[in-house]
Amino acid sequence: MYLLDTASIAAISLYALLSTAYKSMQVLYTRPANGSAISAPPVATGPRPAVDVIVPCFNEDPRILSACLASIADQDYAGELRVYVVDDGSRNRDAIVRVHDAYARDPRFSFILLPENVGKRKAQIAAIRQSSGDLVLNVDSDSTVASDVVTKLALTMQNPGVGAVMGQLIASNRRDTWLTRLIDMEYWLACNEERAAQARFGAVMCCCGPSAMYRRSALLSLLDQYETQLFRGRPSDFGEDRHLTILMLKAGFRTEYVPDAVVATVVPDTLGSYLRQQLRWARSTFRDTFLALQLLPGLDRFLTFDVIGQNVGPLLLAVSLVTGLAEFILSATVPCWTVLMIVSMTMIRCSVVAFRARQLRFLGFALHTPINLFLLLPLKAYALCTLSNSDWLSRGFAPNVPDSGRKQIAVQSPRLAASEGTSDVA
């Protein structure tokens, strides 16, 4: 029993040290080098580049797809904008086609109907090969983009060294359930801590699928590698956003994050759909982490620490949890130090985030800790043991969409969202 107690204390103590250092550096690097809270936006010079917006769609709810296309049609962009909507063999095509008809007379819109389901990656590539704009913006069919998103992302792409850029994600159905509220907070942390810190060094490791813009010249040079990704000799069909971002970095391009370019996306509202999504993402992350290791020697040392924190940290936490549970089962002794450290770190982290975001609701993110400990950590272990499985896990399920009577969050400026959310408690 002494051995189990010692192992649990050692693992949780190492985790606390690593996590504290890692998260502190993240917060430090989220602030721009000039010390201001938000970087000054780039200034437009010369004619605006042509932008192709690609929207892959599979079995999407017609109302959600309609909202997505409406948000794209309403973009306030001074340059040429073309939209390619790719129906990837949807089984509800009759309903989807009625949404297409609403935009049939808009010369900016083109519709590609694939005869059978080939997967999101190949659906994207079908549109990329038919389009010709200077920049390519991928938008998920369950997402809506603020009217200035194309403009703000395109301004960042003025730097010829930038190959990809993403905006800030929020959950459009945040108010639906306790889970969607937690996921919305999770997205805030992923964007405004992890991605923001990585962007300090021009190396965002994953430009997320709901809204990611790419330089066409760079994209075309990587298209064959992107299309034919293999893992252990088998096609890898998911994690397209992370894989394409890593390919951009390997090719020597910068990848950036623009916090003012706000995109709202529908998130899972049941625990089962959330866990299926997380399993798919975990497999993708593990696969491309192996690929990203080759990049680290040429990047800032913080990014190496970032990879260590994201991968070694959960391992230490899992060891502490397993040994602590074993001690409790075998001796009925509560591992007090482990419990105290986890509770203390959770409350400190939630308090710091609530202060940074100026939103009290982040105190409620403490509810994510038991989900992480008892569901996500075992799920990640299972993902690591089943890396060769490329099943999307959600293809056979009906799309999880909010009821028409439920209120959706309007896409707005992060500053407005922060001011409105000051007294919002999860």
In which element (H, E) is residue 352 found? Answer: helix 336-357
- Coil, strand, or helix at residue 371? helix
* 134 falls within a domain: yes
Torsion of CA 283, 289, 291, 293, to 10 degrees: -160
Amino acid identity of residue 286, one-letter, is F
Q: What is the CATH number of the domain that holds 178?
A: 3.90.550.10
Predicted confidence at residue 289, as pLDDT, reads 86
The mean predicted confidence, pLDDT, of the chain is 88
Predicted confidence at residue 401, as pLDDT, reads 40
Q: What is the phi/psi pair of residue 310, to 5°?
A: -75, -25
* 103 falls within a domain: yes
Q: Is the pLDDT of residue 41 over 80?
A: no
Distances (CA, A) of 236 to 121, 232, 302, 332, 355: 10, 9, 29, 45, 40
Q: Is the pLDDT of residue 36 over 80?
A: no
* 139 falls within a domain: yes
Give residue 229's pLDDT band: very low, low, confident or very high (50, 70, 90).
confident
Query: Percent of the chain, pLDDT > 90?
Result: 76
Helix runs in 61-177, H state only: 62-73, 93-101, 120-128, 149-156
Q: Give the Cβ contact number of residue 171 at 10 Å.
A: 25
Q: Is the pLDDT of residue 63 over 80?
A: yes
Distance CA 338, CA 323 (A): 10
Which residue has better confidence, 240 or 44? 240
DSSP codes of every residue in 193-206: IIIHHHHTTTB-S-
Q: Is the pLDDT of residue 54 over 70?
A: yes
Question: Residue with structure tokens 């060891």?
Answer: 319
pLDDT of 11-31, one tens digit each? 999 999 999 999 999 999 996
Sheet holding 162-171, edge to edge: 109-114, 81-88, 51-57, 135-139, 211-215, 162-171, 254-265, 143-145
Predicted confidence at residue 231, as pLDDT, reads 74
The C-alpha angle 122, 128, 133, rounded to 5 degrees, equals 165
Task: Give how far the C-alpha of residue 404 lies from the chain's centroid of Cα atoms, to the nearest Å.
Answer: 25
* 104 falls within a domain: yes
- Coil, strand, or helix at residue 287? helix
Amino acid identity of residue 114, one-letter, is L
Amino acid identity of residue 352, one-letter, is V
Are the C-beta atoms of residues 244 and 148 closer than 8 Å to each other?
Answer: no
Q: What is the phi/psi pair of residue 168, to 5°?
A: -85, 135
Task: Give how far the C-alpha of residue 319 lies from the chain's centroid of Cα atoms, to the nearest Å.
Answer: 27
pLDDT of 305-362, one tens digit each? 999 999 999 999 999 999 999 989 988 888 999 999 999 999 999 999 999 999 999 9
Tell me the average pLDDT across 273-279. Answer: 96
Q: At what angle do helices 336-357 and 301-331 cross, to 10 degrees?
A: 140
Tell me the average pLDDT across 62-70. Answer: 97
Predicted confidence at residue 209, as pLDDT, reads 85
What's the pTM value of the predicted model, to 2 decimals? Answer: 0.89
Q: Tally the domains of the chain.
A: 1
Task: Give how far the C-alpha of residue 19 lies from the chain's centroid of Cα atoms, to the nearest Å.
Answer: 21
Distances (CA, A) of 324 to 11, 220, 316: 10, 51, 12
* 112 falls within a domain: yes
Predicted confidence at residue 10, as pLDDT, reads 95
Tell me the average pLDDT across 181-190. Answer: 97
* 208 falls within a domain: yes
Predicted confidence at residue 316, as pLDDT, reads 95
Distance CA 308, CA 321 (A): 19
Predicted confidence at residue 291, as pLDDT, reads 84
Torsion of CA 183, 185, 191, 196, to 10 degrees: -160
Which residue has better confidence, 121 or 388? 121
* 106 falls within a domain: yes
Note down the domain range covering 223: 49-270
pLDDT of 389-416, one tens digit each? 776 655 544 444 444 344 455 565 443 3
Distance CA 214, CA 164 (A): 4
Predicted confidence at residue 411, as pLDDT, reads 60
Give residue 219's pLDDT band: very low, low, confident or very high (50, 70, 90).
very high
Length reported for the chain: 426
Predicted confidence at residue 425, as pLDDT, reads 36
* 343 falls within a domain: no
For the chain, what is the radius of gyration of the CA atoms? Answer: 22
Are the C-beta atoms of residues 180 and 173 closer than 8 Å to each other?
Answer: yes
Tokens of 300: 């800032």
In angstroms, how far apart are the furthest CA atoms of the chain? 74
Are the C-beta atoms of residues 47 and 18 closer than 8 Å to each other?
Answer: no
